[in-house]
Amino acid sequence: MPKDKNWIRTGFAVQISPLNLHEISVIHRSGPFAFDTEAQSLTRGGARVALSGKPLAILELLITTPGKLVTRADLKGQLWPNCERIDTERRLNTAMRALREALEDTAESPRFIETVRGRGYRWVGAPLPDKQQSWHRSLTVAARLMCALLISASFSPSPISPPTPAQGDRFIAIAARAWRAPADASNQLDTLLRERPNFTAAQTLRARLAIKEWRSAPSHSRLNHARAALAEAYSSTGGSSDLAPLHAEFALLADRDWRGAERTYLTSIAREPGNFEARRGLAWLLLNSGRQGAALSHVQTLLAASELDEAKRADIGWMLLRMGRNEQATSLCDVDDAHELNLLTCRHTALARTGRIAAARDVSLGLMRRLAASPGDIARVRGVGARAGYRHFLVWRASHFPLGKGQWFQRAQLKAEAGELQAAMDDLERSYAENDPSLFKLSTTPEFEPLRAWPRFRTIERAVSAHFRA
């Protein structure tokens, strides 16, 4: 999408450049309540209802597919992907109870959410979604009139219709398993988008998967695929607020446009202060550009979020570790029965950096069992003192931790922490040769501390800094 254009989603596919207007929201109304999809807010009689996190996500899934059954399995897969071993049953019950309290609804006498025993839930509220367009409050009456005149006088109608309930159900099913089987999910999204090209959520998920695939295993073909997916998402949807963090991430890591990425993140946060992805991306950018104080301010805001799943905890935990806030990272990553491998890795690393080596070794043994380590390897870690055992684990992990094809930067981290410095340096040079987007974290990666005096490392560090410094 051209940077100097502003897009508005209405009943027409309209491009308006003379006016600096915010995107028009889609509002679903039911009884006294109104749910704004763009602002991600629920209001009652115009007053904001305190609802966020998972309860708000459940509301969106239900209200945008009225009358259709959304199973508990679909909800758990969408809200807590890759978390089979945590108590998602209890968490879903808690989130649903909070949503019903906000709606002043009950399972026994439902006005909005019907419980289908043993299966899931169905939205049965008053059938509006009338999907009215809501102008941003900053627009004047004159601006609204001018825009209406431009639409009626200058553009031919090209209706943007919402997805059908059946297509909504298909998307929920795809999203529930997207991160477990990204290639399969991408193919199914391609099929869905051929039917409904302006399905914003599907376009966003497909672009997110393409960018993740490129970041996990950088190559020119994956980079081009990610670029095309993001461009198509912008073109087909007119630019959703959900796409802004992806656009900023891509600008930073692919185009190395540090300042452009920062502007996009800041604009997104100004419009939607609760946009977790935008604030998380900005925090990483600030941290790796040497502005740790500003980064910490955004991290503290993220920590105040109503609910953090395991993936978010791990991501914030790694930022805290890079800032040297090891105790805070230890507390954040201390989750009972954690399933996310990244969270478990953050946890044992944080424990080791706070001097609790025995506890770090215990977590590492659990991680080894999760990764199906051989009995001999487990015995080698468990059968010696805590410090020696943890060192054995780090050596084992450098060869056995599941990484995608490529991911040379991550391999270098693991080998450096295991003391395999020559191999780590070789992998780091391979990472640089492959234009690995993870290199923007080079200056804040503590595992590379033993390499910083090496001429080979300093050569890469200077080259990376030239690209990634503001």
- The per-residue pLDDT for range 293-320, each reduced to its tens digit, is 999 999 999 988 757 888 889 999 999 9
Percent of the chain with pLDDT over 70: 84
Q: What is the pLDDT of residue 21?
A: 31
Distance CA 435, CA 389 (A): 35
Q: What is the pLDDT of residue 355?
A: 95
Triad 289, 295, 298: Cα angle to 5°: 145
Average pLDDT over residues 33-51: 77
Please tell me whether residue 331 adopts helix, strand or coil conformation.
helix
- The per-residue pLDDT for range 426-448, each reduced to its tens digit, is 999 999 988 888 898 998 999 99
Calculate the average pLDDT of the chain: 80
Q: What is the pLDDT of residue 1?
A: 35
Confidence of residue 150 (pLDDT cuts 50, 70, 90): very low
Q: What is the pLDDT of residue 299?
A: 94
What's the number of CA atoms in the CB half-sphere (13 Å) around residue 172? 25
Confidence of residue 16 (pLDDT cuts 50, 70, 90): very low
Amino acid at 52: S
Between strands 33-36 and 41-44, the pairing is: antiparallel
Q: What is the pLDDT of residue 83?
A: 61
Distance of CA 189 to the CA centre of its chain: 18
Distance CA 309, CA 57 (A): 13
Structure tokens at 268: 């997104």
Highest mean pLDDT among 4-18, 159-173, 217-231, 370-384: 370-384
H-type alpha helices, 1-140: 53-63, 72-79, 88-103
Between strands 41-44 and 47-48, the pairing is: antiparallel
Average pLDDT over residues 325-332: 94
> Poorest-confidence range of 74-78, 193-197, 285-289?
74-78
Structure tokens at 195: 């039917």
DSSP string of 101-161? HHHT--SSS-SSEEEETTTEEEE-S-SEEEEEEE--TT--HHHHHHHHHHHHHH------P
H-type alpha helices, 196-242: 200-216, 220-237
Q: Render the burial of 376-398: b for 16+ CB within 10 Å, e for the rest.
A: ebbebbbeeebeebbbbbbbbbb
- The per-residue pLDDT for range 71-97, each reduced to its tens digit, is 888 888 888 776 655 677 778 887 888
Average pLDDT over residues 31-35: 80
Confidence of residue 321 (pLDDT cuts 50, 70, 90): very high
What CATH class is the domain 25-129? mainly alpha
Q: What is the pLDDT of residue 347?
A: 94
Highest mean pLDDT among 225-229, 379-383, 404-408: 379-383
Q: What is the pLDDT of residue 85?
A: 56
Pick the more confident residue, 141 or 243: 243
> Poorest-confidence range of 41-50, 212-221, 240-249, 274-283?
41-50
Percent of the chain with pLDDT over 90: 31
